[in-house]
C-alpha cells in the first residue's frame, strides 16, 4: 500500500484502527487516571460500538486494517520481535524478561500480541515461567503496563503527503503505542516500501523533549499543514518536523497554532476539524482566541531547515487563503451554551470526514449533528457512550492511510 494523505476530506480509502481489547480490563479505580482515563469503560459494549464504527466505514468503501492483526505478521519475524520486545521491556524498566518473551517458550505469537496491548503482571509472569521478578513499582503490579489508549490510532503516527511521521508521545504511558505502530510501518510487507520522515527507529536524537502527537496534525492541502502547539506537542518539535518535511518535499508551509495546554483541549483536533475544502467545525471559545500563529517555510533554496516567522494573518484568514475559498464555519453544538462545552467534552468537534461533506460523529452530540446537517453535511452517527470515556472521538480512533482517487494498492 502506498501512503497518500493530501487533505482531511477527500474520499477515505484506507485506514488503520485498533479494536479495544483486554487492556481496557486492566483499568481500575486506583490506576485509571495514571492511564489517562477518567472512568472505566464497559469493554463488551465498547467493542460493539467500535465494530459499528468500523462497519460504517466499510459500508462506505473504506478498507479497514487492524493494528493488532498487522502485528501478528510483524511479531512472527524473530529479529523484529526481539527489537520490539526489548523496546517494550526496556521502556517498562524490566529488560531482563525480554528473552523469555521473545523465545516463545511460554507465550505464543497471538498471546504476545495480546500482551503488548494488555501488559503483564508479576503474578502472570511467575505463573508462566516459574520465576519471580519484582515489578519496578513493587507489589504484584505490572512488569509491563497496559496501553488502554491504543484504540486512539490517530496519535502514534500520521501520514503527511506520501510519508509517515512516527510520533513521540507526551505521556510515558503511551510510548508503546508509537513503538507498535512504527514497527508495523517499518517492517510489515504492506508498508515497508514507504518512508518515515520523522521518528524512525534509526533516529534516536528525535526523542524527548521533542514530543508530538498525531491529533495535533491537520493537513490543509498538498502544500500546507497545520500543527497545534498543545499539551502534547512542543513548538520545538514543530520546527524540527517542518525542516524534515521541507527537505523531503512533502509540504511548502507549516503553521503552528497555539491552543491552551490543558487536558480538556489535549489536541488541536478536539477543538478544530476540517470537513471539506473551506468547511470547518470548531470549538469557538478556543479557536476565536488563538493567541499566536507562526509560519514555517524552507530556510533556503535547497529546502534545508525551517524559517519561523510570526504570522500576521488571523486564523480564519490563513484558512481562507490556504483553501482559496470562502469558509463555512460550524460551531460545536451550533454555538449554544451550555451544550457547546458539553459536546466538546464528548468530542463533538472530533468528526472524521470519510468523503467531502460526509462525516462520522458520535450520535450523542445531537446539537452538533443538527448544526452540521443544517449546513448540508451528511452525518453518520455512531454510538459512543463507552468509547468516549477515553476522551476521544471518531477522528482520534483512526489513522488514515490513503485518501483521494485511485487504487488502495
- Give whole-number Cα distances, 353 to 10, 186, 235, 281, 349, in Å: 8, 27, 27, 11, 12
Is 396 an annotated catalytic residue? yes
Q: 30: buried, middle or exposed (CB in 10 Å: 19+, 13-18, 0-12)?
A: exposed
| Three-class DSSP category at 284 | helix
Give CA torsion, residues 205, 167, 257, 163, to 10 deg: 100
- Residue 51 CB neighbours (<10 A): 10
The residue annotated as part of the active site, out of 89, 102, 379, 396, is: 396
DSSP 141-167: -EEE---GGGG-TTTTEEEEBTEEEE-
Query: Residue 233 in contact with residue 258, Cβ under 8 Å?
Result: no
Look up residue 88 and give its three cell numbers: 517494550
What the block records as the C-alpha cell of 208 is 524527548
Give the span between the Cα atoms of 382 and 394, in whole angstroms. Answer: 9
Distance CA 102, CA 84 (A): 9
Any idea which residues carry the catalytic annotation? 396
Amino acid at each position: 500500500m502506498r501512503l497518500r494523505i493530501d487533505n482531511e476530506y477527500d474520499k477515505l480509502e484506507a485506514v488503520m484502527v485498533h479494536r479495544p481489547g483486554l487492556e481496557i480490563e486492566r483499568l481500575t479505580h486506583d490506576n485509571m487516571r495514571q492511564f489517562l482515563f477518567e472512568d472505566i469503560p464497559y469493554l463488551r459494549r465498547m467493542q460493539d460500538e467500535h465494530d459499528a464504527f468500523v462497519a460504517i466505514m466499510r459500508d462506505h468503501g473504506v478498507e479497514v486494517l487492524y493494528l493488532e492483526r498487522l502485528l501478528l505478521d510483524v511479531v512472527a519475524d524473530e529479529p523484529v520481535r526481539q527489537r520490539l520486545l526489548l523496546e517494550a521491556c526496556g521502556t517498562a524498566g524490566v529488560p531482563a524478561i525480554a528473552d523469555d518473551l521473545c523465545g516463545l517458550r511460554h507465550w505464543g505469537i497471538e498471546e504476545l500480541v495480546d500482551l503488548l496491548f494488555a501488559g503483564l503482571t508479576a503474578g502472570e509472569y511467575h505463573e508462566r515461567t516459574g520465576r519471580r521478578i519484582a515489578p519496578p513499582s513493587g507489589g504484584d503490579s505490572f512488569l509491563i503496563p497496559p496501553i488502554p489508549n491504543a484504540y486512539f490510532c490517530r496519535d502514534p503516527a500520521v501520514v503527511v503527503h506520501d510519508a509517515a511521521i512516527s510520533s513521540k508521545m507526551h505521556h510515558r504511558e503511551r510510548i508503546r503505542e508509537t513503538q507498535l505502530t512504527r514497527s508495523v510501518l517499518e517492517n510489515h510487507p504492506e508498508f515497508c516500501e514507504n518512508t518515515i520522515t520523522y521518528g524512525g527507529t534509526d533516529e534516536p536524537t528525535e526523542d524527548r523533549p521533542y514530543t508530538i502527537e498525531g491529533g495535533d496534525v491537520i493537513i490543509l492541502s498538498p502544500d500546507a499543514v497545520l500543527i497545534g502547539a498543545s499539551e502534547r506537542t512542543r513548538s520545538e518539535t514543530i520546527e524540527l518536523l517542518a525542516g524534515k518535511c521541507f527537505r523531503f518535499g512533502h509540504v511548502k508551509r507549516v503553521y503552528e497554532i497555539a491552543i491552551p495546554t490543558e487536558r480538556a483541549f489535549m489536541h488541536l483536533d478536539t477543538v478544530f476539524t476540517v470537513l471539506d475544502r473551506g468547511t470547518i467545525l470548531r470549538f469557538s471559545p478556543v479557536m476565536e482566541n488563538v493567541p499566536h500563529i507562526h509560519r514555517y517555510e524552507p530556510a533556503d533554496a535547497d529546502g534545508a531547515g525551517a524559517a519561523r516567522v510570526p504570522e500576521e494573518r488571523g486564523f480564519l484568514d490563513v484558512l481562507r487563503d490556504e483553501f482559496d475559498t470562502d469558509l463555512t464555519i460550524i460551531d460545536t453544538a451550533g454555538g449554544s451554551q451550555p451544550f457547546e462545552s458539553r459536546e466538546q467534552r464528548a468530542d463533538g468537534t472530533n468528526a472524521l470526514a470519510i468523503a467531502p461533506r460526509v462525516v462520522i460523529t458520535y450520535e450523542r452530540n445531537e446539537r452538533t449533528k443538527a448544526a452540521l446537517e443544517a449546513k448540508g453535511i451528511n452525518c453518520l452517527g455512531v454510538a459512543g457512550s463507552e468509547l468516549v470515556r477515553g476522551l476521544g472521538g471518531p477522528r482520534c480512533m483512526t489513522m488514515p492511510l490513503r485518501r483521494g482517487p485511485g487504487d488502495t494498492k
